Chain A
Amino acid sequence: MAGHAGFVEADNAEAIITRIEHKSRKIESLLKQYKPVEALKTALEGSPPKTRDERCKSANWIVVHRAIMAIKDVEGMFSSLDPEYYDILMKYLYRGLSTGDRPTCDQCLRIHEKLTERAGLGCILRSLSDTVNTV
């Protein structure tokens, strides 16, 4: 998704982990500056990691989860989040819902409602039907 500079080899799990760690630090600093939307964009960039390695996927999910949970004003988020992020955000919302964790599900459902209003059922279909680029 959203043009990340470094395309990563599928087997290069260590490099991906390093990149996710770097992303995580960047997100923390953005959250400290009260820029939750910027943090979410950073988290979604280069996602999903182009690998089948579950460890990388989990690491990336933790980072995205952190950014999703920091969103307080959902309407406000959508006024500055570009449509190119919608499809990948939907995928992570479903991953959040699959955890079954109460606060995560609450937050994901709240965003899901607004995202569906904006991006339509097509967005949900894309996240359900893509079995290759799973998050």
Chain B
Amino acid sequence: MSAIAVHQFAQCITCHAWSPDHSMIAFCPNNNEVHIHKLVEDKWERIHVLQKHDQIVSGIDWSIRSNRIVTVSHDRNSYVWNKEGADWMPTLVILRLNRAALCVQWSPRENKFAVGSGAKTVCICYYEQDNNWWVSKLIRKRHDSSVTSVAWHPNNILLATTSTDGKCRVFSTFIKGVDTRGSGTSSAGDTKFGEQIVQLDLSFCWAFGVKWSPSGKTLAYVGHNSMIYFVDEVGPAPSAQTVAFRDLPLRDVLFVSERMVIGVGFDCNPMVFAADERGLWSFLRFLGERKISSSGAKYGSQFSEAFGKLYGQSKHGISNDIGEASRSRGGIHENCINCIVPVKKEGQSTNTRFSTSGLDGKVVTWDLENQGDLSEYL
């Protein structure tokens, strides 16, 4: 079994992030708070509640080296939380948005973070030593709709975004005084802030969940049309592959290696995509165990299941703790998965662990070790 830990933290989780040593988890239980839990003697205990936002927290990222938490919310603000003594102290970052902030990610060097928003803009925030202040620089007039996801290239300069206008774009985020010339690759070193490197126009509907491969050579993102897109040679002449699959659309993706991608979404069960020796991507299998039933029966049961949910919502109480055998769809998650995060220690080359959270309020940790058929792609 590839799921090594299942924990029901809340009724619904919008996003989650791990502390650098993975002893703590920060998540938003679908409200304006961020809860931090710590593993104490095999039990998760709530040790902090970060209360500063006014509306739902839509993104959390916890930096590995500097041990800082950044949160963004539908209230259009962002906070950077620093641990001072026993408490987490917030610093307000004024994003200058007129719509909700939707996603956030620290850059690889942790000197910048990017925020995607419903205002059709991306904010690149960096710390200004002189003023003791986080400054937000905006990339405007590039997106035709909300920015649903952001992903940093390992070179700390390039940023990929997906949007509900169906496009995936790559920008330069070079900031004078923060980045040094030649710090990235040669092609990225001489670009201006906000310059669009490429616009990928593969999807005709909403795009979500963009990620770079560990080396930054390949880009993957998903569409709301049950397709996943893989892009090589991101630049003037990108080469793209599209893979259509037979199940419900994905919301987020994660590269576990150059040749393997995990996709999570409305099918409640992580999907494994892998590239063969020639670099051709295809759907491999589901990661969780799945009831094997004839498809006809499956659709029938889904309908009755949906009706059951409609009329019997009250039975969805908070059932704390581990190991509740899932009844509904034969998977571990019982609702849409909308967040996938690597569980990675710094300096580790291969990473086989990741965690997922979703609308069912569970956080599931997965390990791909001992998955015989997948080991060749790691």
Q: Point out residues on A near B: beta carbons under 8 Å.
A: 87, 113, 116-117, 119-123, 125-126, 129-133
Q: How far is the CA of A119 from the CA of B248 in the complex (A)?
A: 11
A113, A116, A125: which contacts B225 (Cβ < 8 A)?
A125
Contacts of A131 in B (CB 8 A): 204-205
B204→A122 contact, CB < 8 A: no
Task: Give the nearest-CB partner of B245 in chain A.
Answer: A122
B248→A129 contact, CB < 8 A: no
Q: How far is the CA of A87 from the CA of B225 in the complex (A)?
A: 11
B225, B244, B295: which contacts A117 (Cβ < 8 A)?
B295
User: Which A-B residue pairs are the 10 nearest by beta carbons?
Assistant: A120-B246, A122-B226, A129-B205, A129-B225, A132-B204, A125-B226, A126-B225, A122-B246, A117-B295, A130-B204
Contacts of B248 in A (CB 8 A): 121-122, 125
What are 8 A-B pairs with beta-carbon distances under 8 A?
A87-B244, A117-B296, A122-B244, A122-B246, A126-B244, A129-B225, A131-B204, A132-B204
A130→B245 contact, CB < 8 A: no
Contacts of B205 in A (CB 8 A): 129-131
Within 8 A of A (CB), among B189-236: 204-206, 223-227
Q: How far is the CA of A87 from the CA of B248 in the complex (A)?
A: 14
A122→B299 contact, CB < 8 A: no
Task: Give the nearest-CB partner of B206 in chain A.
Answer: A129
Contacts of B224 in A (CB 8 A): 125, 129
B299→A116 contact, CB < 8 A: yes
Instruction: Point out which of B204, B206, B223, B246 has the most chain A C-beta atoms below 10 A from its C-beta.
Output: B246
Task: Give the nearest-CB partner of A133 in chain B.
Answer: B204
Q: How far is the CA of A34 from the CA of B75 in the complex (A)?
A: 64
A121→B247 contact, CB < 8 A: yes
Task: Say yes or no: is B249 at the interface (Cβ < 8 Å to chain A).
Answer: yes
List 5 extra interface pairs beyond A121-B248, A125-B248, CB under 8 A: A121-B226, A125-B225, A125-B226, A125-B249, A129-B224
B246→A119 contact, CB < 8 A: yes
Q: How far is the CA of A87 from the CA of B242 in the complex (A)?
A: 14
